[in-house]
Amino acid sequence: MQFKDVIGHGPVKQRLIHSARENRVSHAQLFLGPEGSGNLAMAIAYAQYLVCENPGDADSCGSCAACIKMKKLVHPDVTFTYPVAPKEKFSKPKSVDFVTEWRKAVIENPYMNFNDWVESLEIENKQGSIAVEESADILRRLSLKSVESGYKIVILWFPEKLHISAANKMLKIIEEPPDQTVFILVAENHEKIISTITSRTQLIKINRISDEEMSSWLVHKHELLPDAAKKIVHRADGNYREALLLLNHDPEEEDDAKLFLSWMRSCLKFNMPGIAEFSETMSKTGREKQKLFLQTALHIARECIVMNYADHSMIRMDGKELEDFRRFAPFVNKNNADEFVEELNKAHFHLERNANSKILFADLSFTMNRLLHIK
Ligand SMILES: [Zn+2]
CA 67/CA 63 separation, integer angstroms: 6
Q: Which of 151, 154, 138 is nearest to 20 (CA)?
A: 151
CA 52/CA 148 separation, integer angstroms: 10
Q: How far is the CA of 304 from the centre of ligand 1 (A)?
A: 48
The neighbouring-strand residues paired with 204 are: 31
pLDDT at 332 over 90: yes
- At residue 305, the pLDDT reads 87
Burial class, 10, CB count within 10 angstroms (exposed 0-12 / middle 13-18 / buried 19+): exposed
- At residue 251, the pLDDT reads 46
Rg for the chain, CA atoms, rounded: 22
What confidence tier does 128 reach under pLDDT thresholds 50, 70, 90? confident
Q: How far is the CA of 213 from the centre of ligand 1 (A)?
A: 26
Lowest model confidence (mean pLDDT) among 41-50, 107-116, 119-128, 163-172:
119-128
Q: What is the 3-state secondary structure (H, E, C) of 57-91?
A: CCCCCCCCHHHHHHHCCCCCCEEEECCECCECCEC
Q: How far is the CA of 280 from the centre of ligand 1 (A)?
A: 52
What confidence tier does 318 reach under pLDDT thresholds 50, 70, 90? low
**If you average pLDDT over residues 130-144, what whole number do you get?**
88
Choice between 109 and 176, residue whose per-residue pLDDT is larger: 109
Report the share of the chain in percent with pLDDT over 70: 95
Q: Taking the domains of the chain in order of start, what are their residue ranges? A: 3-205, 251-372
What confidence tier does 249 reach under pLDDT thresholds 50, 70, 90? low
Q: How far is the CA of 63 from the centre of ligand 1 (A)?
A: 5
CA 186/CA 198 separation, integer angstroms: 11
**DSSP letter, residue 30:** E
CA 240/CA 249 separation, integer angstroms: 14
- At residue 236, the pLDDT reads 87
pLDDT tens by residue, 182-222: 999 999 999 999 998 999 999 999 999 999 999 999 999 99
Regarding the domain delimited by 3-205, which CATH topology (the fold level of the hierarchy) does it fall under? Rossmann fold (3.40.50)
Instruction: Write down the pTM of the prediction.
Output: 0.72
The amino acid that residue 302 corresponds to is R
